Chain A
Amino acid sequence: MNKPKVGVFGFTGCGGCQLEILNLEDQLLDLVNAIEIVHFTELVTEYSDTYEIALVEGSITTKHGVERIKKIGNIAKTIVAIGACAVTGGLNCLKNLYGPEKAKELVYGDKKDWIDSIEVKPIDAYVKVDYYARGCPPNRFEIVDIIRSLIVGRKPEIPNYPVCIECKRNGNTCVFELGITCMGPVSRAGCNSRCPNSVSGCEACRGVIDDPNVNAHKDLLSEYGLTVEDIMEGFNLYNACKGKTIEKRDK
């Protein structure tokens, strides 16, 4: 079997998703053997005209970015969005809360017109995304699983149940008991509840499950004396762009 040509592309983000691939230390050599990496900004200089699989990191925040992602959409057979910035727009979307002009002014002052920056969007606002490796950072083993599945022609299994399930399985004390706000009840699992494992609240970096039990979460919040506003601040961290989409999907 021919090795699939894989490109790893970075848009606006921190580069942490690409780093998580490099952090596969034990599996990296096997991975490199199973695929042909033809572009990887953090690792490889080469380029290609076509790609079997494009792993795309980062959100689209500039006009130039829009052109690039569309081009990748044309030359890649399968697109996998990796990491919160690509999947939901991620933390970059916090900028949208200001509107681009105000944000430019805050950071660049009277030189703001020199800066190319548009409303932040996830990549599926511009191209069809086949699979999503969610999270900030994404779970590197999930990325491997998606690639492996694509090679053998099976559908990757991405969890669609709340983080609470993993958290319970890990035997953690519920962080609400410790006075910590947590998005676990409505957030998509697949991270092995890594924040609650570290006695921190889930920040919903993997987005929200398809059918969240919002009312139960609200009850839970009121039981612990919290409001929806308290939690929306946390939720906004990674999902400020996706708010509307999620509301639509909930109905």
Chain B
Amino acid sequence: MTQQNIHEEFLRLTGFEEEEMGRYLPEWRKASEKLGLTEEDVRFAVRERLPEHFALELEGIRKLLGCFVKETIDLTKAGEYKSRGTKIVYGILPAVLHFYYALKLTAPEKIFVSFPDIFITFVMNGFFHKLAPYLEEAEKTGIPYGCRHCALNKTRYAARRLGVIPSPDISWIWGFVCDEGPKTDEFIRLYHDPEWKTYVTRLPHDQPLGTVEDEVIERVEYLAAQMKDGFESVQKEIGIKVSEETIRGVIRIWQRYAAKVSELGRLMSADPQPLGAVSGRFFWEGLFTPLNTGMESMEKALDITLEEVRQRVRNREGILPQGAPKLLIYSIHPSVPWIARMFEENGVGIPLSEFFILTEKQLRPPTFEDPYMAAAEGWLRSSGMVNPGYQAEQICEKIRTHKFDGMVFGLMDFDRWLGSSHRLLGRMVEEKTQLPVFYIEGDNWEDRDYSPEALRTRIESICEIMKIRKG
């Protein structure tokens, strides 16, 4: 197999059409080189990683992977865009993508938007299992290994150091959840790249346990004011003006997409489980991460997948036997795809990630006309963004709605906000539901510390307990 052929094969496997090859093959080869991928890495993805973990027999899933490949190719071209005068805007997860998309839609040729670490992490680890060189680059240049810093932050920094991405014209960095994300930007600017310009937006975690935060008007107003202040500063920085109508337009696109993803969530809950947990998981990224290449390809892939999965449900086809126990998991990331597979191989499904599925309230239209108030309210309706008391209530609703037999927390050791409450949440959810709740210490972004060998016993034990309980 020549180098040309393995790259071609990779693109075909990830849903590229014949007529796209002429354009994308040279671009992909150039991008893969820039990312630090060898021919062997691509061969590993084609022969092992992707077939092992993704349902490549489904056209929709192949095209979904292709969206991430296209976006990553585009990201490696950000430096070229910048040299041609395009304004580069970065962000991090979690954020409300409406604002970033609205920038893109207002001036498609003049603006490049990306959450760069997400795509590099997902593609480099999820497809090639090769994020380690990025992490090691960060660890030897100022973000030490021992403190359990987040792999996303290390990757963003390392990608800049390695010249994969350029300095942004503005990185609008959200610290509504974690502290390390925004402070990493401050670190990058002071330690490595004085051109790395940042605008920070924060919200203190100061609501008592159980507060329904989206109903505390003062909090919604403050968050809306923070969002507005940040968005206006970004527009000023890059010299464009986004209309409120454009933001509303993005919200409509988002709601349409969210409804479709929710349908996929319902289908994933079917018995038997029609699709492995990792295969469709990238669709949920579309709810939170802006794609500079646009939402259309992702939505098209979702439409195809929905049809294919509906067919599987109609045919009662599943990846597990009917009646297999199923657990809600806090979050499963395709960057470490073997975790989900290990559950499935042991006869237990983890079809959905709690962080990404929506409650009944989240699917309701916003109470407010003002787009900032609407976005703020939406944010405060999301389980991961609020106090653990309210979060536990939402988790219980999701468990009831999708008829889960229990829940798995953990795998978020790197996150001092989203991961730090899991043990407490586990207790709250167990008290409320009387269902078994488990905790796994691990890292969803990278598996250098928590290898399959390290987690196998824990996962197998959980699966055995669940099978015994369910009889």
Q: Are A and B a genuine interacting pair, yes or no?
A: no
Q: State the B residues within 8 Å of A (CB).
A: none
